[in-house]
Amino acid sequence: MGAFGSPAPKPESLRDAYGRTLVELGEADPTMVVLDADLSGSTRTSLFGKRFPDRFFNVGVMEPTMMTIAAGLALSGRTVFASTFAVFAAGQAYNQVRQAICYNQANVKIGATHGGLTVGPDGATHQIVEDIGLMRGLPRMTVVVPGDAPTTAAATRAIAETPGPAYLRMPRENLMTVTDGAFRLGRANELAPGSDLTIVAVGAMLAPALALSERLRESGIGARVLDFASVKPYDAPTLLRAARETGAILVLEEHTVLTGVGALVASATAESYPVPVRRVGVPDVFGESGEAWAVMERYGLGPERLAAEALDLLHVRGKIS
């Protein structure tokens, strides 16, 4: 679906959508279990815990072992969701996720909240911008980075229905609702049409991508927006069609440019249909404390920088002079 006909944009909590969907899934599947590591209020798994106290395990501050316990439950036949902040899920527990979950092909879904710079005031220790790269590098792992609450709910259902490991990355901040939640694994939805440029965006950069597309449209530039929430598997046909039809791709992500969606898009197009790809994300540095969107701006993800990158890319392509 497009941005047209969407409900009026308003910021909503992706974490709430995740927590509420866990409760729905728990109603439908009486064997499903949920784990958390002392952050259940923040990750919203507390909603599941209140509804199904017997099927909820808050194991305390032990993320690596939470992942191995989750794997054990999954290897016994259950669908398991395990939640904590992204920095602890993907960072602290990486090798447990790699071995106990992915190598075992355990049916564990990792609901990782507080991904990216928009963690804000807690600072660099909590602002992981490497997790998408870490997780998409793991064989058998599904990776989803929803850009609004409806997509989060749909993605939570989709990974529950799809056997095998999955990583769902959510931000702390509420985000504008810009889709109707028509999410499918492996499909990139086109949220705005255009043939001069493609903007590929995930997570907190989805709404800014649409705003940028609007702004460019006022100058007569058609910027197609692709919601790349399904990072792995990703939608190669839609991406390559966009490369062919628009000739240039701008990637926006709240993640290091070294290993994120920009790196994925650049390598995927380079192999099949090379076009200029501009990766706009966090440069090779740690973040810092500050109000969420002020930190985003400081690290190059504010609206002015996005517009400048888009115009520069169009210039490179000779579409503007």
Partner 1 sequence: MVDDAPGELVRSLERTAREIRRDVIRMLAEAGSGHPGGSLSMTDLITALVFHELRIDPAHPDEPNRDRLVLSKGHAAPALYAALAHRGYLPHDELFTLRRLGSRLQGHADRNKLPCIEASTGCLGQGIGMAVGMALDARLAGRPSRIYTIIGDGECQAGPTWEALMAGGHYRLSNLTVILDRNGLETDGPTESILGIEPVAEKFRAFRYHTVEIDGHRFPEILGALEAARRRTDGPTAIVAKTIKGKGVSFMENQHAWHGKAPSREEAERALAELPPLP
Ligand X SMILES: Cc1ncc(C[n+]2csc(CCOP(=O)(O)OP(=O)(O)O)c2C)c(N)n1
Q: How far is the CB of 38 from partner 1 (least distance, A)?
A: 5
Which residue(s) pair with 176 in the sheet? 11
Pairing of strands 223-227, 189-192: antiparallel
Closest CA to 138 of 197, 95, 175, 107: 95
Q: Which does 121 bind (CB under 5 to 8 A by kind): partner 1, ligand X, none?
A: partner 1
The answer to whether residues 178 and 210 touch, using CB atoms and an 8 Å cutoff, is yes
Q: How far is the CB of 310 from partner 1 (least distance, A)?
A: 25
Residue 215 sits at the vertex; the CA angle it makes with 314 and 311, to the nearest 5 degrees, is: 20
Among 7, 27, 61, 219, binds partner 1 (CB under 8 A): 61
The answer to whether residues 165 and 139 touch, using CB atoms and an 8 Å cutoff, is no
73 is an interface residue for ligand X by CB under 6 A: no
122 is an interface residue for ligand X by CB under 6 A: no
**What DSSP designation does 185 have?**
T
Residues 159, 145: Cα–Cα separation, whole Å: 12
Give the nearer residue to partner 1 in terms of CB position, either 71 or 263.
71
Residues 129, 8: Cα–Cα separation, whole Å: 30
Return the residues of window 166-225 that contact ligand X according to CB under 6 A. none
Q: How far is the CB of 40 from partner 1 (least distance, A)?
A: 5
Among 123, 164, 186, 276, binds partner 1 (CB under 8 A): 123
Among 46, 151, 189, 256, binds partner 1 (CB under 8 A): 46
67 is an interface residue for partner 1 by CB under 8 A: no
Residue 164 sits at the vertex; the CA angle it makes with 201 and 63, to the nearest 5 degrees, is: 80
Residues 160, 154: Cα–Cα separation, whole Å: 10
Q: How far is the CB of 7 from partner 1 (least distance, A)?
A: 30
Among 29, 41, 61, 244, binds ligand X (CB under 6 A): 61
Which value, to the nearest 10 degrees, does the dihedral of the CA atoms of residues 175, 87, 158, 263 take? Answer: 80
Q: Which does 1 bind (CB under 5 to 8 A by kind): ligand X, partner 1, none?
A: none
Q: Which residues bind partner 1 (CB under 8 A)?
A: 36, 38-42, 46, 58-62, 64-65, 87-88, 91-92, 120-126, 288-291, 294-295, 298
Q: Which residues bind ligand X (CB under 6 A)?
A: 38-39, 61, 63, 88, 92
